[in-house]
Amino acid sequence: MSLTSKIDSAEEALSKIDLGRVVRSPLLDVAIGVALTVWGLIPTSMPPIRYGVDHSPGMVVLSGLLLATAPQMVRRRFRVPVLVLTYLGAGVLALSGVRLAEIPLPVYVSGVISTYTLLVMLPRRLRWAGAVAVVVGGLTAALGIGGGRGGAFAIVAVTVAALTLLADLRGSRSELNLFRADRLDQVRERAAMAERARIAREMHDVVAHSVSMIAVRAETAPFTLAEEGDELGEATKREFADIAGNARDALAEMRRLVGVLRADIPDAAETAPQPGLAQLPELIEQHPGDVDLDVVGEERELPQAVDVSAFRIVQESLNNARVHAPGARVSIELAYRPTLLAIRVADNGPAEAAEDTEGGHGLIGMRERALALGGWFTAGPGPHGGFLVQAGLPTE
């Protein structure tokens, strides 16, 4: 295996590692605790002067080191006790004769980790107040200690505060991103619901016409048959009357259902006639740019629901082109297939389009219309540039 292949394999392996999971793993805490403890105990095999005392480190010094470092292995499970034990260990070292300026560096590091771990769990106001208190306290202690260790103590205090504030800012950004994502989902959902209501209103007009015809024909059928000389029995007349009554009941229920769905739609649209592909030439004429229309296959009469939805999809595609690619040339293709109407709208403008989520139109509306009829919908950059909208609407 070549060196390049090995590097690529290593990069691929590293990319699969979940850094967040590693950082949050309890095993990492154990590793930190063990490392600090070993780091702190290594100097015990060196000359006593290492600890600034005139005798070999005894059990008191060892106990202090262990108290200050070993608890880091469970720092996130017991935040407050670990912090207390860390500072207690430092106190034991000071009381055993180790000068404050000569306390081993692992104890300082342990103090940074313990203080940070506790601060990040506090509410935001207390967190910032705690960070300020740590800085003030650390700088005050640094002045009292003086020398190199005093500077180290000051660095420790500032480091704790900086880590705490960075964690807070990162958390705030994450919360803001989550809020924005949730808000965007809500806006899209409201837009989809509004578009479904509009679709329901249009479908109501389509279905209502058919149901009304059933009711009218059921009521007039006995008279038509009587004129032709056919005598109907009472049972047959009641059957026709029941058909007409059921149709009118269904129509009333449909109107109530659509009334619930379209509560937020202006009443002006209540009686507006629903357009179809027959109005496409007029729509193209109103478009400010150049539009090419190509019809593939033999045109035929479509179900009204398909006719309305096809017109709306083309209308919204032209509107997107007008807004996001002004002046671009638009090509519309309507392909009449045996069981499907395929729609293709492409422009030669920028390969982008925005969803008018506030108004409920845009890509959301087109997708909802296609899916409501059991069809499909895609939208995105075209293979040769520009933006491409495609939809398939079943006709049977």
Domain check: are 215 and 320 in the same one? no
The helix-helix angle for 147-227 and 234-261 (nearest 10°) equals: 160
Which of 152, 182, 212 delimits the end of a domain? 182
Which of 269, 288, 304 delimits the end of a domain? 269
Domain check: are 243 and 367 in the same one? no
User: In the 8-state DSSP scheme, what is residue 302?
Assistant: -
Both tokens of 180, joined, read 């924005």
What total of structural domains would you count in the chain? 3
Quickly state the pLDDT bin for 245 (edges 50, 70, 90). Answer: confident
| pLDDT attached to residue 391 | 95
What CATH number is attached to the domain comprising 378? 3.30.565.10
Q: Is the pLDDT of residue 314 over 50?
A: yes
Per-residue DSSP letters for 220-272?
A: HHHHHHHHTT----HHHHHHHHHHHHHHHHHHHHHHHHHHHHTTTS-GGGTTP
Mean pLDDT of the chain: 73
Answer yes or no: is 6 within a domain.
no
* Chain segment 338-360, per-residue pLDDT in tens: 999 999 999 988 765 544 434 44
Domain check: are 371 and 304 in the same one? yes
Q: Which residues contact 348 (CB under 8 A, 6 or more apart)?
A: 325, 328, 329, 385, 386
Contact 144, 137 (CB under 8 A): no
Average pLDDT over residues 283-310: 89
User: In the 8-state DSSP scheme, what is residue 383?
Assistant: B
Answer yes or no: is 4 within a domain.
no
Q: Is the pLDDT of residue 17 over 50?
A: no
| pLDDT attached to residue 43 | 62
Contact 113, 32 (CB under 8 A): yes
Average pLDDT over residues 85-94: 80
Domain that includes residue 317, residue range: 277-394
* Chain segment 112-137, per-residue pLDDT in tens: 777 777 777 777 667 666 666 666 66
Domain check: are 201 and 177 in the same one? no
Domain check: are 55 and 109 in the same one? yes
